Amino acid sequence: MAGFLLPAEAASSSSAPNELQQMQIEEPPPSQFIVKESAFGSVESSPPLVQIPIVDVSLVFSSQDELEKLKNALSSWGCFQAIGHGISSSFLDKVREAAEHFFSLPMEDKHKCFRAVKEAEGYGSDLIVSDKQILDWSNRLFLMVFPENQRRLNLWPEMPNDFGEILIEYATKIRSLMDLCFKTMAKSLQLKEDIFLKHFGDQAVVQARYNFYPPCPRSDLVLGLKCHSDKSGVTILLQDQQVEGLQLFKDGTWFRVPIIPQALIVNLGDQMEIMSNGIFKSPLHRVTTNTERMRVSVAMLIEPAAEQEIGPVDDLVDEKRPRLYQNVKNYGAFNYHCYQKGLIALDAVKM
């Protein structure tokens, strides 16, 4: 078994109740989970609720108003709730159900998917990169979906039986939505349509991250996912249908993000902030826990191939807006190490 698992899960066995029933932890959280005060404030379970922009992505090419709404959303919040994405509510429910099924399995079944030491892919909790890092109150299943020849199918769940089929279909649909986002972002800045998309070609990395957040009686002390900005170009998140948890940091304040059950949250990652020379934002966000209810979400992330160099687009650099970021390669690995050390990766690549 690699990595630290939450106490109740580490103790589970084939004869014990399933994970979703077990995660009622009565004792105080272990010290390695307790979040200290930081520059981004303490853990607060109920900051203000804010309605982040809602964009009908089916209209962004035909409606200037919808295109402007997308541009303004990404320049201010760095994210939006996408509707009109063309993925049926019944299929989104299947994606959620597959995730819940996997996390509900006995430990011996999930054990087949455990990630190896010092590797990110597979099932487990935080990859340890620092003696001082605070652990997230969550477990994850992290899988490579594209390029197809990089799939490690030995780590893909065997149950539910159609897990792989659902994941591939979902990833294919999400990849089309990601491509649409790259094109519309370019159009909103009056750039060539492929200016961002060309960095995310056939060898672009598309990963799935299934997140399980068990209940925690001391949700005021831990975080399901620590404060961070995403390493990706774009992340598309399917939220839990009922339990809130995602929070955004803007203008010095944390805000709760509401649930729109059939919407997808399009969240820009650091690599798009770099390529847009800071016009579009990669938002700081975190995930809180619930005292009584578990939460499941599914995130899809896209990054350029590790050897692909990215930097600010030349057309977005001039005397009025000088170059803000250095060129970088393999930014995803760099971002992750910064995240686990409590550092903001974007700050380290600023000019």
53 CB-contact burial (10 Å; exposed 0-12 / middle 13-18 / buried 19+): middle
Given pLDDT bands bounded at 50, 70 and 90, which one contains residue 94? very high
In a domain, 11, yes or no: no
In a domain, 189, yes or no: yes
- Number of compact structural domains in the chain: 1
In a domain, 100, yes or no: yes
Query: What is the sign, positive or negative, of the torsion defined by CA atoms of 322, 197, 156, 24?
Result: positive
Q: Give the C-alpha distances (Å, rounded to integers) separating 291 from 9, 54, 124, 342.
A: 17, 29, 22, 25
Assess whether pLDDT exceeds 90 at residue 145: yes
Q: What is the pLDDT of residue 9?
A: 46
Q: Which residue would you say has higher pLDDT here, 37 or 293?
A: 293
In a domain, 18, yes or no: no
Q: What is the pLDDT of residue 2?
A: 33
In a domain, 87, yes or no: yes
Q: How many Å apart are CA 307 and CA 330, to the nearest integer?
A: 6
pLDDT digits (tens, 9 = 90+) for 151-184: 999 999 999 999 999 999 999 999 999 999 999 9
- Contact predicate 101/159, CB 8 Å: yes
Q: Which residue would you say has higher pLDDT here, 45 or 101?
A: 101
Q: Is 111 helix (H, G, I), strand (E, B) or coil?
A: helix
In a domain, 4, yes or no: no
From the CB of residue 344, how many other CB atoms can be counted at a distance below 10 Å? 18
pLDDT digits (tens, 9 = 90+) for 321-336: 999 999 998 888 888 7
pLDDT digits (tens, 9 = 90+) for 1-48: 233 455 444 433 332 333 433 444 556 788 888 887 666 666 765 789
Q: How many Å apart are CA 81 and CA 160, to the nearest integer?
A: 29
Q: What is the pLDDT of residue 131?
A: 74
In this structure, what are the phi and psi dihedrals at residue 317, rounded to the nearest 5 degrees? Answer: -120, 125
- The angle subtended at Cα 103 by Cα 130 and Cα 178, nearest 5°, is 75
Assess whether pLDDT exceeds 80 at residue 85: yes
Task: Supply the range of the domain harboring residue 127.
Answer: 31-349
Mean pLDDT value across residues 41-66: 89
Mean pLDDT value across residues 124-141: 84
Assess whether pLDDT exceeds 50 at residue 127: yes
pLDDT digits (tens, 9 = 90+) for 198-232: 999 888 999 999 999 999 988 888 999 988 899 99
Q: What is the pLDDT of residue 202?
A: 83
In a domain, 324, yes or no: yes
CATH number at residue 107: 2.60.120.330
Q: How many Å apart are CA 303 and CA 139, to the nearest integer?
A: 22
Q: Give the C-alpha distances (Å, rounded to integers) separating 263 from 74, 172, 198, 289.
A: 17, 17, 27, 21
In a domain, 244, yes or no: yes
- Which amino acid belongs to residue 306? A
**Percentage with pLDDT > 90 across the chain:** 69
Q: What is the pLDDT of residue 24?
A: 45
Q: How many Å apart are CA 121 and CA 102, to the nearest integer?
A: 16
Mean pLDDT value across residues 133-153: 94
Q: What is the DSSP letter of 153?
A: G
pLDDT digits (tens, 9 = 90+) for 254-264: 999 999 989 99
- Contact predicate 267/79, CB 8 Å: yes
Q: Which residue would you say has higher pLDDT here, 87 or 306?
A: 87
